[in-house]
Structure 1
Amino acid sequence: MNRNAKTNTAANRRILVTGATGYVGGRLVPLLLAKGYRVRACARNPRRLENRPWHGHANVEIVAMDVLDLASVEQAVTGCEVIYYLIHSMIAGKQGFADADRTAALNMAAVTSARKVRRIIYLGGLGDVDHPGLSRHLRSRHEVETIFREGAVPATCLRAAMILGSGSASFEMLRYLVDRLPVMVTPRWVGTPCQPIAIKDVLGYLCGCLESPETIGETFDIGGPEVLSYRDLIHAYADIAGLMPRIIFPVPVLTPKLSSLWIHLVTPVPSIIARPLAEGLSIPVVCRDNRIRDIVPLVLQRAEETMRIALDRQPQAEQDACDLPPDTLLPPEWTACGDADYAGGTTLTMGFRILLETDIETVWQTVEAIGGEHGYYGNRLLWLARGVLDAFIGGPGLKKTRRHAKHLGVDEHFHFWRVSQVHRPRRLVLESRMKAPGGALMVFQLSPRSDHTELTLQSVFLSRGLFGLGYWYGLYPAHQWVFRNMLKGIARQSGARILSGPEMIHMGS
C-alpha cells in the first residue's frame, strides 16, 4: 500500500484512546494524529486535556468518559473502530482497586461488543500469573487481560515491565532515589531481573499493532533488548547523571509497605503510587516470548540510551511543553504537558518581576546587551569572583567576550553562557556553562503593558544530586540579592522609571 493510500485509510478510522491524561495515553494521542488517524481522547474530566498542544488539532475530539459509568462508556465508544485501553486503578484504594478494574473492563467489553467495535488494544503488565509473589496490582492487570481475551471483541494484549522515560512513575522513583541517596538500603529485590522498555518502543508497539492485522486476538510480551537487575539500573543511572557510584545494601526486612513509605519520604512520588510499584518489583518480569519482534520490527532502544535522552534536561527546561504547535512531536522520553508535577527531576526556580515606564524595545536593547560593556547591571565584583572561581575549577570563566555589543545570536557563547533562545523583543534564554552540580538557565521575558513594560527574570536550576540541592539553597539569599539588583540596573540603564518591583514571584519550571 502506498503512503497516500495508507494515510487515507487512517483518516477514515476513528480511534478511541482511554486514559488520555495518563503517561502513555498522553504520548500516544499526538503520535496517532501525526500518522493521520482521527482520535477521540477521553478522560473523566476533559478539562484536564485543554492545555495539551494537540487539544485544538483538527482530527482530535475530546470527550468525557467515566469507565465505571456504563452510559458514558457507550457514548464515548459509539462510532469508534479501535479502542486503546490504557486505564488502571492504581490509586483506587487499598481494597477497591481490583473491583474497580474488573467493573471497568467488563463495561468496556460489553459496550464494544454491542457497538460492533473491531478490536481492543490493551497495555497490561509482565509477570507470571502463577507466581506466589505476584502483586495485587499485577494480578488485577492480568484479570483485565483475561476479560478482554474472553470477550466478543478481538483483543491485542501487550504486557510490559518497567517503562523508562521522564514522567513514568517507576522511572521517576528510580531518578529521585539515585539522585538523593549516595548510600541506599534496599529490599532484596534489588537483584531481581527485569526487562525494562523505553517509552518510545511501547508507543512503537502500540501503533504497530494497530497497523498489523496479524496481532489481532494475540497476547505479546514486550520488553527492551536487555535483561537487567534494578541494581544495574541504579548504577547505570548514576553513571549517566554524572553522580558518584551508589553504594547499595540489600536487606531482608523492608516490606513493600515500608519501601513505599521510604520512597514517599525521599522522593515526591506519593506512597499510594509507590506502594503498588514497589510490590511489583519483587518478582522477575522478563519476556517469555519475542514473537512481537517479527511482526512489529523495531530497533529497540537500550536502557542506557533511553535514560540518557530522559536526562538531557536542558532542552526540556528551555521550552514550555504545553505551549507548542498542535503537530509538534517531542521525544517521548522527555517530560510532556500533563505529566505529574514530580516528573523531570528536581527543578528549582526563582523569579522576579519589575514594571518599567518605557516601551518594550528600549528595555529589550538593554537586556540583549547583557554581559557586554555594562556587565550584568550590578554586583560587578560578585560576577567577577564567580568567573574567576569557575575558571579555577575548569569552567569557561569570563574569558570569552561577546561578538557584538548590541545583538546576540542563538548558540553564541560568551563568558560562561550559551545563548539558547532569542525572540526579539520578547524572550531571551541563556544557558549556563559554568561548573556547578546541575544545569542552569537565566530567562528574560518582556511583556508590553500599554505605555509600560513588564520584565520578568527567572532563574531555573536543574539540580543534580544532593550537592545540587545544597548549592541552590546555600546560595539562595545571594541569588535573590543579585537578581533584584540586576533588574534595578536594567531599569537604570534603560532610563526607565520603576513603577513597581522588583518583587519576587512564583513561577512554574
Structure 2
Amino acid sequence: MDSSAKPILVTGGTGYVGGRLIPRLLAGGHRVRALARSPERLHCRPWGGHARLEIAAGDALDRDAFVRAARGCGAAYYLIHSMNAHKGRFADADRRAADNMVAAARQNHLSRIIYLGGLGQQNHEALSHHLKSRHEVERILQAGPAPVTNLRAAMILGSGSASFEMLRYLVDRLPVMITPRWVRTPCQPIAIGNVLDYLQGCLGVDQTVGQTFDIGGPDILTYRDLIHMYAREAGLRQRLIIPVPVLTPWLSAKWVHLVTPVPASIAQPLAEGLSIPVVCRDHRIRNLVPVTIMDARQTIRNALARIRQEQVDTCWFDGGGSLPPEWTTCGDADYAGGTVLGGAHRIVLEGDARLVWSTVRTIGGKNGWYFAQSLWRLRGLLDRMVGGPGLRRGRRHPSDLRVGDGLDFWRVIALDPPKRLLLLAEMKTPGDALLEFMISPQGTDKVELKMISRFLPRGLAGILYWYALLPTHRWLFEGMLRAVARKTGLPVTHGPEKAAMTSALECRL
C-alpha cells in the first residue's frame, strides 16, 4: 500500500499547534489519526466528526498505547513537549515520550517523523533546561529507524499562543515595565500560520526528509521591540521600559504569573528561552517549502483581530489540564478511594431547557459567575497568589464550550448540551472538586436547573477545607441559581432549595 494513502499520525492533537494542524491536513485530503489522552477533547471540535479522522485514546507515556495508535500509519507528526516547570521531571517525561515515538516508528515501519522543536545553539552555556530537552528529543528521534524532519522555531505568535498572551497582557496592563536584561536579546518570532504552512508543506517535499531546518519570520527583534510594536497595533501609549540586571527568569516568571493569565510554570521556560539569542542560522526551508512569510507587525495585527472577533481556534491552555479523577469512574462504591462529600441545590423555572442552557454555557470569563462576583474575584486572587490559574485565564470563547476548555480556574470534562456541564476544579485545593450543572425538563412547560458539588478531600486538611466552606454553599449556590433565573427572564415556579444527592456519581463521564 502506498504510504501516502495511509493515515498520518498526529501526536499532541489537543494542543495549540496540533489543534490547528489537524483540520489543515483534513482539508488537504489526508487521513489523520490523532493520539489523545482525552478523545472527548477532539470529538467536540468542529472537525471532530470528519470522515477521514480517527481518534486513538492513549497517553504518550504509555508505550503500548502509542504503538497501537501508530499501527497502519505512514508519516507521523511529533508535537509533544512539556512546558510545565512545576512538574519537575519534565525532561524525563519528554525522554520517555520520545522513546515511545521511536518504538512506535520501529514496530510500525513509519515512513517519517516531522518534529517541531526549538531554536537555540545547543552548545550555548546559557541554554535553558527546556531548550536542552527539545534538542535531546531531536537526538532521540533521529536515533530511531524513521527519518526525522526537525523544524526549529523560536517564539510562536498568534491568537491564543502563550507567547502572544504573555506579551498582550503585559503591555495592556503595565504602562511602565521594570524588565530583565533579556528584553534586549534578539529573537526571530514566527506566525502560527507560517508554522502550520511549514509543517504541512514538508509532508509533500521529499527533500525535507531527514533534514533539520530553522523556521522564523522575516524580522529579528528584541522583546522590547515587540512591546513597542504591540502597543502601537493595540492603540496604546508607548510603554516605558526599564531593564534591570537583578530579574532572573524565575523572578520574571513570578511577575508574569501575577500580571497575566500565563502561569509561572509556563512563563519560566518562555523567559528562559528568550535569555539567549534565538534566530535562524539558515533559510533553506524557504526555497524547499515556499510560503508567504508574515512579519511580526502583521502577525500581531491579525492576532488582535481574531481576539476581537472572538475567533480563537485554539489556546495555549487547551492541551493541559487534568483528566477526570479516578473516583469519578463508574462502578466504584461511594467510599472507594475515600469519602466523596457533596451537596445539591435546585430551582424550577417555567420555560424551555435550551434557554436555560444558553445562560449556563456562558458562565465564567467576562460574564463572571452571575452572583457574589467580588467573592469569586477574591477566590481567584488567592488562587493566583498560591500558584493556581485564578480567574484571569478566562475562557476561549464567550459562548462556545467544548470538552477540555479552560474556564477560569475550572476545566470542562463533560458536556451534553443542553442537559449537562461538568467542571473539574484546577484551583489549588486540598482535594478534587467537581461542579455540575444539570438541566432537566419537568413536564411540558417547566425545567429544573440543579447545581451539584462533589469533593474528595486529601487528608484532614481537605476535610477541614470542605466543612469550613460548607456554611456558604447554600447561600452561594442558591444565589447563583436565582441569578441564572433572572438572566433567562423565566418565571420561578419552585425553589431554589436543597436537593437530594445521588448515592454515587452517575455513569455519564
Q: TM-score range by the shorter chain?
A: 0.5 to 0.7
Higher mean displacement: 118-127 or 141-150? 141-150
Give the number of the structure whose alpha-carbon radius of gyration is greater: 1
Alignment of structure 1 residues 382-393 onto 2, 5 Å: none
Q: In 2 relative to 1, CA 238–500 (structure 1 residues): closer, same or farther, beyond 3 Å?
A: farther
Other-structure match for 1:30: 23
Deviations 1:369-413 (A, max 9, x none): xxxxxxxxxxxxxxxxxxxxxxxxxxxxxxxxxxxxxxxxxxxxx
Other-structure match for 2:412: none
Other-structure match for 1:415: none
Other-structure match for 1:316: 309
Other-structure match for 2:146: 153
Alignment of structure 1 residues 188-203 onto 2, 5 Å: 188-203=181-196
1:51–1:337 Cα contact (<8 Å) kept: no
Deviations 1:94-115 (A, max 9, x none): 6411122122212211320221
Other-structure match for 2:127: 134
Which among 52, 55, 58 is matched to residue 48 of structure 2? 55
1:169–1:269 Cα contact (<8 Å) kept: yes
1:10–1:37 Cα contact (<8 Å) kept: no
2:178–2:243 Cα contact (<8 Å) kept: yes
Q: Is residue 172 of structure 2 the alignment partner of residue 179 of structure 1?
A: yes
Which among 43, 62, 81 is matched to residue 69 of structure 1? 62
Deviations 1:327-349 (A, max 9, x none): xxx786x75994779xxxxxxxx
Which amino acid in 2 is paired with 1:268? Answer: P
Q: Secondary structure at the residue paired with 2:242?
A: strand
Please give the alpha-carbon distance, in whole angstroms, between the structure 2 residues aligned to 1:258 and 1:96.
Answer: 20
Deviations 1:14-66 (A, max 9, x none): 00100111110111111111111111111122233232122111111111222
Q: Unaligned regions of 5+ residues in structure 2, if any?
A: 322-346, 354-440, 448-482, 497-509
Q: Is residue 259 of structure 2 the alignment partner of residue 271 of structure 1?
A: no
Please give the alpha-carbon distance, in whole angstroms, between the structure 2 residues aligned to 1:309 and 1:237.
Answer: 11
Which amino acid in 1 is paired with 2:65? Answer: S
Task: Normalising by structure 2, report the TM-score.
Answer: 0.63
Please give the alpha-carbon distance, in whole angstroms, between the structure 2 residues aligned to 1:79 and 1:158.
Answer: 25
Alignment of structure 1 residues 466-485 onto 2, 5 Å: none
Q: Secondary structure at the residue paired with 1:54?
A: coil
Q: Is residue 79 of structure 2 the alignment partner of residue 97 of structure 1?
A: no
Q: Percent of aligned positions with the same letter in both sequences?
A: 60
Q: Secondary structure at the residue paired with 2:238?
A: coil
Other-structure match for 2:279: 286
Please give the alpha-carbon distance, in whole angstroms, between the structure 2 residues aligned to 1:27 and 1:180.
Answer: 29
Other-structure match for 1:244: 237
Other-structure match for 1:144: 137
Q: In 2 relative to 1, CA 229–358 (structure 1 residues): closer, same or farther, beyond 3 Å?
A: closer
Q: In 2 relative to 1, CA 226–357 (structure 1 residues): closer, same or farther, beyond 3 Å?
A: same
Q: How many residues align?
A: 360
2:85–2:266 Cα contact (<8 Å) kept: no
Please give the alpha-carbon distance, in whole angstroms, between the structure 1 residues aligned to 2:208 and 2:135.
Answer: 18
Please give the alpha-carbon distance, in whole angstroms, between the structure 2 residues aligned to 1:259 and 1:242.
Answer: 26
**Alpha-carbon shift at residue 449 of structure 1 (Å):** 9.4
Please give the alpha-carbon distance, in whole angstroms, between the structure 1 residues aligned to 2:35 and 2:69.
Answer: 7
Please give the alpha-carbon distance, in whole angstroms, between the structure 2 residues aligned to 1:216 and 1:10.
Answer: 14
Q: Secondary structure at the residue paired with 1:89?
A: coil
Alignment of structure 1 residues 491-506 onto 2, 5 Å: none
Which among 77, 91, 95 is matched to residue 84 of structure 1? 77
Which among 121, 144, 161 is matched to residue 168 of structure 1? 161
Q: In 2 relative to 1, CA 112–176 (structure 1 residues): closer, same or farther, beyond 3 Å?
A: same
1:41–1:60 Cα contact (<8 Å) kept: yes
Please give the alpha-carbon distance, in whole angstroms, between the structure 2 residues aligned to 1:223 and 1:78.
Answer: 33
Which amino acid in 2 is paired with 1:75? Answer: R
Q: Is residue 285 of structure 2 the alignment partner of residue 305 of structure 1?
A: no
Which amino acid in 1 is paired with 2:71? Answer: T
Which amino acid in 2 is paired with 1:215? Answer: T
Q: Secondary structure at the residue paired with 1:16?
A: strand
Which among 199, 202, 215 is matched to residue 209 of structure 1? 202
Deviations 1:250-288 (A, max 9, x none): 000001111111111111111111111111110000000
Deviations 1:153-181 (A, max 9, x none): 10000000000012211111111111111
Which amino acid in 1 is paired with 2:217? Answer: G
2:349–2:446 Cα contact (<8 Å) kept: yes
Please give the alpha-carbon distance, in whole angstroms, between the structure 2 residues aligned to 1:133 and 1:71.
Answer: 37
2:160–2:312 Cα contact (<8 Å) kept: no
Q: In 2 relative to 1, CA 500–303 (structure 1 residues): closer, same or farther, beyond 3 Å?
A: farther
Q: Secondary structure at the residue paired with 1:260?
A: helix
**Alpha-carbon shift at residue 355 of structure 1 (Å):** 9.6
**Alpha-carbon shift at residue 140 of structure 1 (Å):** 0.7
Please give the alpha-carbon distance, in whole angstroms, between the structure 2 residues aligned to 1:497 and 1:67.
Answer: 50
1:155–1:217 Cα contact (<8 Å) kept: yes
Q: Secondary structure at the residue paired with 2:103?
A: helix
Deviations 1:56-90 (A, max 9, x none): 11111111222222211111111110110000122
Which among 90, 103, 106 is matched to residue 110 of structure 1? 103
Q: In 2 relative to 1, CA 283–501 (structure 1 residues): closer, same or farther, beyond 3 Å?
A: farther
Q: In 2 relative to 1, CA 102–271 (structure 1 residues): closer, same or farther, beyond 3 Å?
A: same
Q: Unaligned regions of 5+ residues in structure 1, if any?
A: 1-7, 318-329, 342-353, 361-447, 455-483, 503-509
1:165–1:198 Cα contact (<8 Å) kept: yes
1:167–1:340 Cα contact (<8 Å) kept: no
2:37–2:57 Cα contact (<8 Å) kept: yes
Alignment of structure 1 residues 424-463 onto 2, 5 Å: none
Please give the alpha-carbon distance, in whole angstroms, between the structure 1 residues aligned to 2:114 and 2:319.
Answer: 23
**Alpha-carbon shift at residue 357 of structure 1 (Å):** 6.2
Other-structure match for 1:478: none
Q: In 2 relative to 1, CA 117–313 (structure 1 residues): closer, same or farther, beyond 3 Å?
A: closer
Which amino acid in 1 is paired with 2:116? Answer: L
Please give the alpha-carbon distance, in whole angstroms, between the structure 2 residues aligned to 1:140 and 1:356.
Answer: 55
Task: Normalising by structure 1, report the TM-score.
Answer: 0.63
Other-structure match for 1:399: none
Deviations 1:222-245 (A, max 9, x none): 000111110111111111111111
Please give the alpha-carbon distance, in whole angstroms, between the structure 2 residues aligned to 1:258 and 1:331.
Answer: 30
Q: Secondary structure at the residue paired with 1:36?
A: coil
Please give the alpha-carbon distance, in whole angstroms, between the structure 2 residues aligned to 1:253 and 1:129.
Answer: 26
Alignment of structure 1 residues 372-383 onto 2, 5 Å: none
Q: Secondary structure at the residue paired with 2:268?
A: helix
1:52–1:337 Cα contact (<8 Å) kept: no
Q: Secondary structure at the residue paired with 2:97?
A: helix
Q: Secondary structure at the residue paired with 1:301?
A: coil
Deviations 1:468-504 (A, max 9, x none): xxxxxxxxxxxxxxxx9xx89x97xxxx9776899xx
Please give the alpha-carbon distance, in whole angstroms, between the structure 2 residues aligned to 1:292 and 1:453.
Answer: 62
Which amino acid in 2 is paired with 1:290? Answer: H
Please give the alpha-carbon distance, in whole angstroms, between the structure 2 residues aligned to 1:92 and 1:174.
Answer: 19
